[in-house]
Structure 1
Amino acid sequence: MKRRGVLIGLGALAAGGWLLRPDNRGAAHDRYFQQLNDTLKSAGPGRPLMLIDRQRLADNCRTLMSMIPSGCNFRIVAKSLPSVPLIQEVMTHTGSQRVMLFHQPFMNALADAEPGCDMLLGKPMPIQAARRFYQELGEAHRFDPSLQLQWLIDSLPRLEQYLALARELDQPMRINVEIDVGLHRGGLGDPSQLDALLALIHANPRHLQFSGFMGYDAHVGKLPGFIESAEEGHRHTERRYQSFIDRLYQQAPQYQTQSLCFNGAGSPTLALYDDSTVVNELSAGSCLVKASDFDLPSLDAFAPAVFIAAPVIKAMDGLNLPGPIPLGDAWQRWDPNRQRTYFIYGGYWKAQPVSPAGIQANGVYGVSTNQMMYNGSPETALTPDDQIFFRPTQSEFVMLQFGDLAVWEDQAIRQWWPPLPQGEGA
């Protein structure tokens, strides 16, 4: 009787486990991706590529500009859109010539291509990088850094470094001060720290000019709502920012009549700003191509506009894993989404498969940058030379890994846009 009870119990457990089998999530490419697939299969380069949907990019630009408060300017974040033609496309659709940069080779490339642009550094640049920028710019260049470039300074010692370089080059420098509005990643943490920087700037008017503040708020909305809501975090950030503006005007009232740059925001927090904001300039870039890390409620109005396409090299029925135990056979019987195996050209990017539906990496087989394994159900129905499409998790690094960017427009690849240069040794 006991043995019978055990057998019944094991049978019930097995039946219950079978009921917990994953659902079949597989499907063929939808119309959008099938069109991409057919074009790349017949006329693509036969290698992984990064694709930009030009129409979606334009639509995202219009969406962004509808969110910019009155009295605020928009600044394009170049690291999130790392291609000169891509930045120029965004300039066309937004009307902005303002760019935030984070890498010296990007600075020189953009100064060459868009000599009328206005640059703000998004991080304090090591002094050797600043020196190299001027060396590569040359004296006859149409871009005038004394009027069009703001170096970001986070401390008095760094400002002293920049003053020494300005004297050495006899080059006036505009100085934007990084302030800590709650992220705690550096910058001035207390408004009183501004006094020493202003004193040094005002003592050296030939070489230094104060141009404004930059306060990045990437922390807002990251805490659980019961600790602090995004709205509460944003109000705290605005109060912190205002305290630095108040200190500035207290110490140097003449700035109240000058046109200064009070920069803030980023794609995740852009929607929190309204006409009452204390800043006069908002930065964003990632929302315009919308990598998957930016699938946020505040960015629901934006559409994904960048994808990786990778050709399938090998397509097989079943799941055959190495080793003496038939783990793959048992796994694919239990999970219908493991019943087809695909090896792609390349892999292991910061990206997740998006089409066909139900495609997933195989963590047991392991990762590969050469031929990575993915599994799907029979409904995915891919054959060699078909494409698997991925959404990058971020744009700023991943978009630099594929060479020229394929521009998708009117059901065809119409252009190839080169990425920004990484520089020697990068």
Structure 2
Amino acid sequence: MSDQVTPSRRRFILGGIGLAAFAGLGIAKPNDIGENHNHYFNQLSLALDNKALSKPNLVIDKNLLIDNIKVLKTHLAGRFDYRIVAKSLPSIPLLRLIMEQSQTNKLMLFHQPFLNQVAQALPDSDVLLGKPMPVTAAANFYRLYAANQTPEFDHETQLQWLIDSPERLNQYQALAHSLKVKMRINIELDVGFHRGGVADDLIFEKMLKQIDSDPALSFAGLMGYEPHVAKVPGRKIALRDAAMQSYRDKLAIALRVSGKSADELTLNSAGSPTYQYYDEGDYPHNEVAAGSCLVKPSDFDLDTLSDHVAAAFIATPVLKVMQETQIPGVDGLGRLMSFWNPNRSKTFYTYGGNWKANPISPKGLSINPVWGHSTNQEMLNGSDNIQLKVDDWIFLRPTQSEFVFLQFGNISLYEAGKITASWPVLSEQVG
């Protein structure tokens, strides 16, 4: 027999040493935190069962979503226009509901296939690209726009392309001339995030003059994204003020060169983590963009969003229930783990897994650190207090929405104890 220590055996040995070390250091054993579903998740489970759903579902609670929209509107208080970030809410019916509830037609899009679908399905929308796209993506948009015959959406008045450099401006200018179209240009500014955008005043002024001198182009506004205000260490208000001063300086140049007033321009800033930093005061932008705060995945559990609530969940069926935890190839490790931590006493295998999400109900479920993740049948451990049965539902809370929402097919809309709709998500394959 080989004397080689296998990776599994090594994990077992290290696990045993780790438990002994914790005990030796006087670290307290974890408390049993297992609980069964509360009333909310019991009702949601019943709604899923009544709809005869049997696979992993992305569920949005309509009433909680609307509550979040009301919170957002209360903070904006008519001081800023609202632009919906569609990548965080990638479904036409979902966007339509939010547009109606928030009374805005302004969308921010980040993906060419989504842009073509929005132009067809939401022809009254006012669209600003949220990132600078390869010029080929722009060419693909125009090709599909012509093929789909969507004249209700007027790209020359309802669409703003985001430009971040002189080189990209040259590319788009050449495309506008080759296609004989007019393009509205919004310039991305670097206001401190340092993920691209224009920072140099001379370069910025030269770009503005280039746009102004070409009838195929028109200057439509500025975008100054500043998520660093919420994310990096430091005084948040000082970071905000520095970003806004940079924005003001560029806006002054833009108004002088273009001859336009601020009211004629789209002056975009903020995002879900930062929009509440502008509740009071005078700022250069006239609109804010946000999306994730309306469904509040866990990455957005921030002080600035404490009055928003989670409104989206992954629901997945339990495939198997085991009254103990066993780790293959390392007999005894599961018992050792459950002896130390009562929240590893039982094992539940789910339909699918390894999503950008964390278990939320029943309380006390967690990934086994030795077993790891599985996209086919995820192992979750819990305490003896959790009485889940096969075919019951486990709920997870996404850490983000823009990627996770696209993984489940249709979105299940939950309202007043029932699943009331099944909404398709945007396709990534158009074009």
Equivalent residues in 2 for 1:35-46, closer than 5 Å: 35-46=43-54
* Residue type of the alignment partner of 1:129: A
Q: Deviations over 1:224-260 (max 9, x none)?
A: 2xxx2111111111101001011122333x2127610
Q: Name the structure 2 match of 1:168.
A: 178
**Does 2:108 align with 1:103?**
no
**How far does residue 43 in structure 1 lie from its aligned partner after superposition?**
3.4
**Does 2:213 align with 1:203?**
yes
Which SS does the other structure have where 2:230 is aligned? coil
Q: State how far apart, in whole Å, the 2-side matches of 1:200 and 1:14 are.
A: 66
**Does 2:378 align with 1:372?**
yes
* Residue type of the alignment partner of 1:115: P
Contact kept? 2:119, 2:150, Cα under 8 Å: no
Q: State how far apart, in whole Å, the 2-side matches of 1:376 and 1:323 are.
A: 21
Equivalent residues in 2 for 1:251-330, closer than 5 Å: 251-252=257-258, 254-256=259-261, 259-273=264-278, 274-330=280-336
Alignment partner of 1:146 out of 156, 161, 165: 156
**Does 2:229 align with 1:220?**
yes
**How far does residue 42 in structure 1 lie from its aligned partner after superposition?**
4.7
**Does 2:220 align with 1:237?**
no
Which SS does the other structure have where 1:379 is aligned? coil
Q: Deviations over 1:41-89 (max 9, x none)?
A: 4533211010000000011001001111544110000000000111111
**How far does residue 320 in structure 1 lie from its aligned partner after superposition?**
1.0
Which SS does the other structure have where 1:374 is aligned? strand
Contact kept? 1:180, 1:216, Cα under 8 Å: yes
**Range moving further from structure 2, 292-301 or 228-237:** 228-237
Q: After the TM superposition, which segments of 4 or more aligned residues of structure 1 sit over 6 Å from their partners? A: 12-19
Q: 1:13 to 1:422 in 2, by over 3 A?
A: closer
Aligned-residue CA RMSD in angstroms? 1.7
Contact kept? 2:359, 2:365, Cα under 8 Å: yes
**Range moving further from structure 2, 392-401 or 16-25:** 16-25
**Does 2:94 align with 1:89?**
no
**How far does residue 39 in structure 1 lie from its aligned partner after superposition?**
2.7
Normalising by structure 2, what TM-score?
0.92
Q: State how far apart, in whole Å, the 2-side matches of 1:256 and 1:96 are.
A: 22
Alignment partner of 2:405 out of 399, 405, 415: 399
Q: Deviations over 1:349-374 (max 9, x none)?
A: 00000000000011201211000100
Which SS does the other structure have where 2:422 is aligned? strand
* Residue type of the alignment partner of 2:57: L
Q: 1:261 to 1:304 in 2, by over 3 A?
A: same
**How far does residue 18 in structure 1 lie from its aligned partner after superposition?**
8.1
* Residue type of the alignment partner of 1:264: S
Q: Name the structure 1 match of 2:8.
A: none
Q: 1:122 to 1:367 in 2, by over 3 A?
A: same
**Range moving further from structure 2, 271-280 or 369-378:** 271-280
**How far does residue 380 in structure 1 lie from its aligned partner after superposition?**
1.4
Contact kept? 2:209, 2:257, Cα under 8 Å: no
**How far does residue 299 in structure 1 lie from its aligned partner after superposition?**
0.3
Which SS does the other structure have where 1:378 is aligned? coil
Q: State how far apart, in whole Å, the 2-side matches of 1:258 and 1:317 are.
A: 65
Q: State how far apart, in whole Å, the 2-side matches of 1:389 and 1:42 are.
A: 17
Q: 1:71 to 1:40 in 2, by over 3 A?
A: closer
Q: Name the structure 2 match of 1:54.
A: 62
Q: State how far apart, in whole Å, the 2-side matches of 1:269 and 1:192 are.
A: 29
Q: Deviations over 1:272-301 (max 9, x none)?
A: 013412110100000000000000011011
Unaligned runs of 5+ in 2: 1-19
Unaligned runs of 5+ in 1: 1-11
**How far does residue 400 in structure 1 lie from its aligned partner after superposition?**
0.1
Q: Name the structure 1 match of 2:28.
A: 20
Normalising by structure 1, what TM-score?
0.93
Q: State how far apart, in whole Å, the 1-side matches of 2:118 and 2:73 are.
A: 22
Contact kept? 1:82, 1:419, Cα under 8 Å: yes
* Residue type of the alignment partner of 2:428: Q
* Residue type of the alignment partner of 1:36: L
Q: 1:281 to 1:174 in 2, by over 3 A?
A: same
Q: State how far apart, in whole Å, the 1-side matches of 2:21 and 2:353 are.
A: 38
Contact kept? 1:41, 1:385, Cα under 8 Å: no
Q: 1:236 to 1:324 in 2, by over 3 A?
A: closer
* Residue type of the alignment partner of 2:140: R
**Does 2:164 align with 1:157?**
no
Q: 1:153 to 1:15 in 2, by over 3 A?
A: closer
Q: Name the structure 2 match of 1:410.
A: 416
Q: Name the structure 1 match of 2:83.
A: 75
Which SS does the other structure have where 1:111 is aligned? helix
Q: 1:284 to 1:184 in 2, by over 3 A?
A: same
**How far does residue 169 in structure 1 lie from its aligned partner after superposition?**
1.0
Q: State how far apart, in whole Å, the 2-side matches of 1:275 and 1:54 are.
A: 33
Q: State how far apart, in whole Å, the 2-side matches of 1:408 and 1:143 are.
A: 31
Q: State how far apart, in whole Å, the 2-side matches of 1:223 and 1:90 are.
A: 30
Aligned residues: 409
Contact kept? 2:51, 2:419, Cα under 8 Å: no
Q: Name the structure 1 match of 2:145.
A: 137
Q: 1:100 to 1:32 in 2, by over 3 A?
A: same
Q: State how far apart, in whole Å, the 2-side matches of 1:25 and 1:41 are.
A: 27
Q: State how far apart, in whole Å, the 1-side matches of 2:203 and 2:183 are.
A: 20
